[in-house]
Amino acid sequence: MPMEQKISSTKKQITDLQQNNSKISQVIRNVENSISSYLEKVDSLKDSIRTAEDDMNLKLSEVEQWDKEIEDVFNKLQEMKTLQKEAQAKCDASERVKQTISIEINKLTTHQKSLRDKKEEIVQAKLDDDRKIHSLENEMNRLENVKHSRLQDLQRRNQDAYKAVCWLRNNKHLFQGEIFEPIMLEVNVLDSRHAKYVENVIPLRDRFGFYVCKKGGHEQTYTMFERKAEPFY
């Protein structure tokens, strides 16, 4: 084969090789681009996986938080149930106490009414007693006035008898028995219209006389009056 043909053949081979090399380079570039694109997809997938894992971890944290909140709510619910039972027990006890207090209040109300009734009875009795006392005081004052009037009448009628009465009232302790004053000072006539009949029955001398209850007291009375005769005259 001539040299030129060899050269031409060699050039052609070189050209073919260059073309093949160019094709291979293109294929390599395509493969590299594919690999690069694949790697980008892998990175993107990894990012997506990390994001998904982060989201999942966040969700898991939220779930754990929810579980804790659910547990807290459950515990609170149990506490509320316990408090409800205690409150119910207290309400039952309070109801029993309320019933007991109501019974005691009824007893006290009844006792109070009884005391008020007794108080009214006592007040009424006191008013009655006050009226009786007032009436007795009036009667006593009237009798005292009558006694005083009678004593003044005795003084006008018999000065000696009047002095003897005054002395006797201050010296009764000197006598052993009881000595009554003149009858005109002691006798009371309920109806004044009958007074004159009583006066007519009693002699004048007896109206001014003293009366001794104890036996032998006449002599003692006479002796005492005789010793004290001076004040009578």
Q: Are 154 and 184 in contact (CB under 8 A)?
A: yes
CB contact at 8 A, 164 and 210: yes
Of the two residues 71 and 183, the one the predictor is more confident about is: 71
Bridge partners of residue 211, in order along the sequence: 180
Model confidence at 120, pLDDT cuts 50, 70, 90, reads confident
pLDDT of res. 213 = 62
Least reliable range by pLDDT among 82-86, 209-213, 228-232: 228-232
Does the structure show a pLDDT above 60 at 221? no
pLDDT band at 158 (very low <50, low <70, confident <90, very high): confident
In percent, how much of the chain has pLDDT > 90? 0
Q: Which of 184, 153, 161, 170 is nearest to 232 (CA)?
A: 161
Of 71, 171, 60, 26, nearest in space to 210 by CA:
171
Percent of the chain with pLDDT over 70: 87
Identify the weakest region by mean pLDDT among 96-100, 108-112, 134-138, 201-205. Answer: 201-205
Cβ distance 182 to 202 under 8 Å? no
Q: Residue 77 phi/psi, 5° resolution?
A: -60, -40
DSSP class per residue in 176-217: SS-EEPPHHHH---SSGGGHHHHHHHS-HHHHT--EE-STTH
Query: Which residues partner with 179 through β-bridges?
Result: 212
Q: How many Å from the N-terminal Cα to the C-terminal Cα in the chain?
A: 219
Helix axes 3-157, 159-170, angle to 10 degrees: 140
Q: Where are the alpha helices (DSSP H) in the chain?
A: 3-157, 159-170, 183-186, 195-201, 204-207, 217-227, 229-232
Residues 47-63 pLDDT 10s: 888 888 888 888 888 88
**pLDDT at residue 71, as a whole number:** 86
Torsion angle, alpha carbons of 122, 124, 125, 126, to 10:
80
pLDDT tens-digit readout, 16-37: 777 887 788 787 788 778 777 7
Backbone angles phi, psi at 180, to 5 degrees: -90, 145
222: pLDDT confidence band, cut at 50, 70 and 90?
very low
How large is the average pLDDT for residues 82-110? 83
Token pair of 56 as six digits: 């999942």
pLDDT digits (tens, 9 = 90+) for 142-157: 767 777 887 888 888 8
- 150 exposure class (CB count in 10 Å sphere: 0-12, 13-18, 19+): middle
What was the pLDDT predicted at 161? 84
Name the least confident of 12-16, 98-102, 216-220, 228-232. Answer: 228-232
